Chains A and B, each alone.
Chain A
Amino acid sequence: MALIQNVPLVSILLSLFAGPVSSVLDGKWAKRLNLFVITFIGILSAGLLSFVIGTDQEYVYTMGHFPAPWGNEIRVGVLEAAMALFFCIIMFLCVIGGVLEREREIEETKQNLYYIMVNLLLCSLLALIYTNDLFTAYVFVEINTISACGLIMIRQTGRTIEAATRYMIMSLLGSGLLLLGICFLYSLTGHLLMSNIKEQVTLLQASGEYHIPLLTAICLMSVGIAIKSALYPFHTWLPDAYGYSTLSSAAILSSLVSKGYIFLLVKIFYRVIGFDIIRESKVINVLFIFGIAGMIMGSVNAIRANNINRMIAYSSVAQIGYIYMGFGLGTTAGIIASIYHIVSHAATKSLLFVAASGITDASAKSENFFDLTGAGYRNKLAGAAFTVGSLSMVGFPMFSGFISKLLFSQAAMGNKHKILITLIALAISVILNAVYFMKTVIRIYTPEKKEVIIDKGFEEISIWEQPAKSAALICFIALNLLLGLSSEPVIRLIERGLEMFG
């Protein structure tokens, strides 16, 4: 076994162990350790990705001396390595983008606790990506849930405590349903390892035995993960959790936490049940309908919001709706579009959160929509970045959002029953997106009167004033352009990864 094949083990254990170590460090060193861990894992994952692309083969890594159905194992393919690399990049940018806010909003004695949460969150995301065992996935879903709660409430205002409580209740409900689904599957198949479950499920499907419990298990797991990733009717925890938590928490939660669960759902669809059985089960039609409802209702709510962070948060509901709509199409092209949208939305949403904080900094920290007038002139980089993010969300060519919308429309062509409704929903949703994002862009580029600026104490912020945030913004813009201009390799990579999923 080549040395580089140990990367998944090293990255999971390193980020896991960095958590407890941060608890004895002070805030500053915990931050350095955290940044080092994320960078190191990112570099390792890049190496692993190039290795896996080179061999063009998935491989299985046994965790311990006992082979798979008895012991644990993790599995590495192209898509897993690429996701690990991408999540590391986004997390690094989110962490450095929100340094100032964190130091301002979190008590000094609790700074190191924040990095414990970030480290363990990264670990749980990596484990969710790599795992080949449903129960291991559940254990790390627990870590993910608790650390996300900690990230929300570490900024201690009444609003965040309330949001964290809400998140806790909804998310635990989702975990419970997921666990129930895993229990059902276990009692039907006698396995927890994904590949073995799939063998058994194929046999069960062929013999027609246990049809109803199998369907129940699929429903329970899909609904559980849909609740945890804020699909439309279960989205009520989302705006408060994203809108009031500290900047890097909001960016990490919106771009990574919900995406980790969705990636797990893709794994369940492909590696645990088998996509043909999922398609026959009609569960995806339910996901499709709720996805479409989310695309429209999320945008309508975003139009009505008059706090910029809540507006961006509601826009997440719409984007999660897109992803589930892609699942609902029931074609491989739909899944590819959804995974591309996971990537594109993660890159864009974190960009928008960081840019919005730059804009509000130039408006005396007011998040009220009317105070943002002319903020694009006062903080030029944040204004430009917000424009880029908005154009990407609306689906302007050159940016990543355009490619994902194009892929969704192309995927819709493959399903002759859903083609019309998908295209209509896409069109309406794009227009609604344009309404609230362009409204904000016009607002931040409408000059404000001199008296008002002096009266409200708005300050100009140059690029050099907040170097970490500026660097993060520039990287985010570059990432967006990269995803939008050279999407071919990424799409090919996703296709190859899904083929490896089997």
Chain B
Amino acid sequence: MSRKIPKQEYEKTLSFRLSRWLNGENDTFVGKVEMQPQKEPHEDDSIVMNRKKERKQRMERIYDLANNWEVSGFEKLYKIFSAFFCLFIVAMLLIAVSYLPSYGHAENPVNNEVAERYIESGLQETGAVNIVTGMILDYRAFDTLGESHVLFIATCTVLILLRKDKKKDEKGNDIEVSDRIYEPKNDVILQTAARVLVPPIIIFGIYVILGGHLGPGGGFSGGAVIGAGLILYLNAFGFRKTERFFTGKTYKVLSVCALGCYCLAKSYSFYTGANHIESMIPLGRPGAILSSGLILILNICVGIVVAGTMYTFYVMFRKGDY
């Protein structure tokens, strides 16, 4: 049962003060706690100057590398420690490797049904005489699709880093100069050699690409050969002659076509494979040049991308226009 109390008594109770504080009518700190507004932080100029001077002196002492024994000591210790650390890791890995199954043993786990099917029915299933090509471009074509895009994106990253900026200085000259200033080229020995060598190199590269499903070779190796031929030609004759047939735009269009072709061809086969639709692409007679389904086309695509990548890397490192 509650009891009525007079107002004065009520005002002394805790609940009254609490309700007033909650309603914001009363600040319990006013009049009881010493309060003053925050002062502007102020420092004497001399103190600031002193601090700057000390900092400068400290920096000078730290960066005086010849006499700083702490830094040189640390560097020595760092070298010793990293050498020991590397030795430790090498030792651990060697120990781990020694426990692995011995190389080339018939009982090894790697000689299982996967490798068996690749070897035994690779020819019938992919139509490629070269089993390795059959593996990378048919059985595991998704990985190779990723791999060719690795090359493409590597070129793009090099373009970001090294492509000549279009910035000009006050006089309107380019800030970065390309290697064109050394042109025209007139190195007779190199040019004669290139004239003789470049056509066979490129034809050999094309042969390696086209024969990828029939024997050793394929898009990656053949593309590298063609790229080497183009680089030799560029070295002998300079940018002006090369740009008559191969510019940055050519590279872009070629790589888009090649990668697009790869993507489309493989989307078809992925889609039909996953949805259990019979593929329309004939495998042909093993051993003929037009055989093994999509592999030939994919090899050509990969070859174009690899050749373009190699050549573009070289042009970028020579600061060519692109």
Write the residues of chain A forming the contact surface with B, with a CB cutoff of 8 angstroms. Answer: 1, 6, 9, 13, 16-17, 19-21, 23-24, 61-66, 69-72, 107, 109-110, 113, 116-117, 120, 123, 127, 133, 135-136, 139-140, 142-143, 146-147, 149-150, 153-154, 161, 180, 184, 186-191, 200, 210, 212-213, 216
Known A-B contacts A9-B270, A70-B118; the reply to A139 vs B143 at CB < 8 A is yes
| Of the residues B138, B165, B255, contact of A64 by C-beta under 8 Å | B138
Closest to B140 in A: A72
Q: Is the interface of B mostly helix, strand, loop or mixed?
A: helix
From 267 to 282 in chain B, residues with beta carbon under 8 angstroms from any chain A beta carbon are 267, 269-276, 279
With A24-B253, A135-B143, A212-B95 already in contact, the answer to whether A16 and B149 are too (CB < 8 A) is yes
A63 to B272, CA, bound (A): 9
The answer on a CB contact under 8 Å between B255 and A23 is: yes
The 7 tightest CB contacts between A and B, nearest first, are A139-B146, A190-B109, A216-B96, A72-B142, A65-B273, A190-B110, A150-B157
Whether B109 pairs with A19 at a CB distance below 8 angstroms is no
Q: Given the complex, which residues of B lie within 8 Å of A150, measured CB to CB?
A: 153, 156-157, 160
Contact A154 B160 (CB under 8 A): yes
Which residue of B156, B166, B253, B273 is within 8 Å of A63 (Cβ)? B273
**The residue from A61, A66, A210 contacting B125, defined by CB atoms under 8 A apart:** A66
When distances are taken between beta carbons in the complex, the residues of chain B under 8 Å from A186 are 110
Chain B residues with Cβ below 8 Å from A109 are 163, 166
A residues in contact with B154, CB < 8 Å:
146
**Please, which residues of chain B bring their CB within 8 A of the CB of A113?**
156, 159-160
**Residues of the B chain whose Cβ atoms lie less than 8 Å from the Cβ of A147:** 153, 157
Query: Which residue in chain B gives the minimum CB-CB distance to A139?
Result: B146
CB-based nearest B residue for A146: B153
Contact yes or no, B156 A188, CB < 8 A: no
Per the bound structure, the CA–CA distance linking A147 and B151 in Å amounts to 11
The answer to whether A213 touches B274 (Cβ under 8 A) is: no
Shortest C-beta distance, B319 to chain A (Å), equals 15
Q: Interface residues of B toward A: which range?
A: 35 or more
Count of A-B contacts with CB under 8 A? 166
Does residue B28 face the partner (Cβ distance < 8 Å to A)? Answer: no
Mostly, the A contact residues are helix
Q: Which of B161, B163, B165, B252 has the most CB of A within 10 A?
A: B161
Residue of B nearest to A124 (CB): B146
Complex Cα gap A336–B72 (Å): 48
- Are A1 and B153 in contact, CB atoms less than 8 angstroms apart? no
In the assembled complex, the Cα of A188 lies from the Cα of B269 at a distance in Å of 32
Query: Contact flags (1/0) for B231-262 with A, using CB distance below 8 Å?
Result: 00000000000000000000011011001100
Is A149 in contact with B109, judged by CB distance below 8 angstroms?
no
B147 pairs with A149, CB closer than 8 A: no
Name the contact of B267 in the complex, choosing from A13, A21, A62 (C-beta under 8 A): A13
Check if B96 sits within 8 Å of A70, measured CB to CB: no
Residues of chain B lying within 8 A (CB to CB) of residue A1:
274-276
In the bound complex, what is the Cα–Cα distance between A113 and B263 (angstroms)? Answer: 20
Task: Write the nearest CB–CB distance from B76 to chain A, whole angstroms.
Answer: 21
Given contacts A20-B255, A113-B159, contact A69 B113 (CB under 8 A): yes
Query: Is B93 at the interface (CB under 8 A from chain A)?
Result: yes
